[in-house]
Amino acid sequence: MALQITQSCVNCWACVDVCPNDAIYADKPHFLIDDMKCTECLGDHATPQCAAICPIEMAIVDELGEFLNPPGSLTGIPIEKLKEFGLYREVA
Partner 1 sequence: MELPVISNAAPKEASGGGCSSSGCGTAPDALSHLPDHIRAKVQDHPCYSEEAHHYFARMHVAVAPACNIQCNYCNRKYDCSNESRPGVVSELLTPDQAIKKVLAVAAEIPQMTVLGIAGPGDPLANPARTFETFEQLSEKAPDIKLCVSTNGLSLPQYVDEIAKHNIDHVTITINCVDPEVGAKIYPWIYWNNKRIFGIEGAKILIEQQQKGLEMLTSRGILVKVNSVLIPGVNDEHLKEVSKIVKAKGAFLHNVMPLIAEPEHGTYYGIMEQPEPTPEQLQDLQDACAGDMAMMRHCRQCRADAVGLVGEDRGDEFTMDKIDVMDVDYEAAMVRRKEVHDSIIEKLEAQRGHTKPKPQGIPEGSRPVLMAVAGKNGLVAEHFGHAKEFLIYEASPDGVRFISHRKTELYCGGMDSCGEGDEEPDSLLDRNIKVLEGCEVVLCSKIGFEPWGKLEAAGIAPNGEHAMEPIEEAVMTVYKEIAATGRLLPSTDSLKVA
Judged by the rule CB under 8 A, the positions of this chain that interact with partner 1 are 10-14, 16-18, 45-47, 49, 52-53, 55-56, 74-77, 81, 85, 87
Between the two ends of the chain, the Cα-to-Cα distance in Å is 18
Q: How far is the CB of 70 from partner 1 (least distance, A)?
A: 14
CA distance 86 to 80: 10
In the complex with partner 1, the residue whose CB is nearer, 46 or 64, is 46
In the complex with partner 1, the residue whose CB is nearer, 10 or 42, is 10
In the complex with partner 1, the residue whose CB is nearer, 22 or 85, is 85
CA of 54: how far to CAs of 5, 25, 89, in Å? 10, 15, 17
